[in-house]
Amino acid sequence: MNYVRLWLYILFALVFLMVIVGGLTRLTDSGLSITEWKPLTGALPPISVEGWLIEFQKYSEIPEFKLQNSDMSLSEFKVIYWWEWGHRQLGRIIGLVWFVGFFLLFGLRKLNKNLIWPSILIGFLIGVQGAIGWWMVSSGLQDGMLDVASYRLSIHLLTAFFILSLIYWRILRIHHEYDTLISRTRFSSVLFFLSIVMLLVLYIQIFSGGLVAGIDAGTAYNEWPLMNGQVLPGESFDLLPIWVNFFDNSALVQFNHRILGYLLFFLVLMFFVIATCDKTPALKRSSSYLLFVATLQVFLGIITILSEAKLLYAALHQAGGMIFLMTVLNSLFISSRYKNV
């Protein structure tokens, strides 16, 4: 197997796992258990009883402990600590895999000119993502905060999906490196444009999903298709100033996430119908995968809402979001090959 492709596959798998673990860390309220950012020395967890007591003491000084978890035992603290430590450790492993892989492949001259700068961009964003992670956590350590700021969580999540997109796009480019370009089809330009729109809306939806997770909006309005018997709950604009509702009002945040989901599904249906009319095998096959994954993701979203965001369903919904991203990128890639000829 091509060593560059293997490197990208490993990076992709690790980032995919990282997003899942990050989601579970948020869902278990573990993200504030480590109150310091030590990229190197923090790789070693507490070993002795004294070490655990020191970490527990640091946690006991933040608002989340004082206002919400004051009755937490040391053994309970260890559970949330391991979640956050595991999440950070995965980040270190991803950084190490990129660093060793890049310089080894570069030194062996396995990276062609088209891969060097995209690879550097991926590495740069991995480093930036670590800083964004601490920026997010630090917001939850401030007075009166029980959780991290939802918009910072959304930026952290969106950056992870963007890194995943870059890696997967390079994998597609390498996988189809020697494919013969195909002449423009009847609807290939339309499908290319529609793929770009889907991708942009999906990124907005990912940001919206971060807001839902950040304020636990998924635990409210646990019915479908209505929300508390209404299409748009009456309390959706109760907060002042008005713009705050788009970030901190559970009713409006969840409503927006649902509407964006419906919009995405409509765009997928359009893509499927147009690709079917185009009758090009690769485009039809791509659209079928896209429709299947989109339908599954909508189903998982509904189940997550009805279950009050139970851990398993929420994790599956997040994984479904990444698989959906892959199918959108795949559709964009295939339609671009037809458009540019």
pLDDT in tens, 230-281: 999 999 999 999 999 999 999 999 999 999 999 999 999 999 999 999 878 8
Alpha helix locations (H) across the chain? Answer: 3-27, 49-59, 63-67, 74-107, 113-139, 150-175, 188-214, 245-248, 250-278, 281-306, 311-339
The strand pairing partners of 24, in sequence order, are: none
φ/ψ of 69, rounded to 5, equals: -120, 35
Which two tokens mark 119? 């690879």
In contact, 8 and 111? CB cutoff 8 Å: no
What is the model's pLDDT at position 178? 55
> What burial letters (b/e) apply to 92-105, b meaning 16+ CB within 10 Å?
eebbebbeebbeeb
What is the model's pLDDT at position 341? 44
Which two tokens mark 16? 């995919």
> Maximum Cα–Cα distance for the chain, whole Å?
70
Residue percentage of the chain with pLDDT more than 70: 96
In contact, 55 and 64? CB cutoff 8 Å: no
Distance between CA atoms of 324 and 318, rounded to whole angstroms? 10
Taking residues 126-142, report their average pLDDT: 94
The strand pairing partners of 230, in sequence order, are: 227
Taking residues 199-209, report their average pLDDT: 97
10 Å CB burial of residue 109 (0-12, 13-18, 19+) is: exposed
pLDDT range class, residue 207, cuts 50, 70, 90: very high
| 123, pLDDT greater than 90 | yes
The strand pairing partners of 16, in sequence order, are: none
φ/ψ of 72, rounded to 5, equals: -70, 135
Q: How far apart are the first and last CA of the chain?
A: 29
The strand pairing partners of 227, in sequence order, are: 230
Which two tokens mark 315? 């994790």
Question: Can you point out the beta strands (E) in 144-286?
Answer: none
Taking residues 12-24, report their average pLDDT: 96
Q: Is 227 helix (H, G, I), strand (E, B) or coil?
A: strand
What is the model's pLDDT at position 179? 58
Q: Please give the C-alpha separations between residue 224 and each of 136, 221, 227, in angstroms, as whole numbers.
A: 31, 8, 7
φ/ψ of 235, rounded to 5, equals: -90, 15
Q: How many CB atoms lie within 10 A of CB 87?
A: 21
What is the model's pLDDT at position 43? 86
> What burial letters (b/e) apply to 257-295, b meaning 16+ CB within 10 Å?
bbebbeebbebbebbbebbeebebeebeebbeebbebbe
| 185, pLDDT greater than 90 | no
pLDDT, one tens digit per residue, over 30-59 is: 999 999 988 877 888 999 999 999 999 999
| 142, pLDDT greater than 70 | yes
Taking residues 135-152, report their average pLDDT: 91
Name residue 291's amino acid: L
Distance between CA atoms of 339 and 199, rounded to whole angstroms? 17
Of the candidates 267, 137, 145, 276, the one whose C-alpha atom is nearest the C-alpha of residue 201 is: 267
| 224, pLDDT greater than 60 | yes
| 92, pLDDT greater than 90 | yes
What is the model's pLDDT at position 282? 85
Name residue 307's amino acid: S
Taking residues 206-213, report their average pLDDT: 95
In contact, 321 and 209? CB cutoff 8 Å: yes
Element (H, E) at 290: helix 281-306
Element (H, E) at 13: helix 3-27
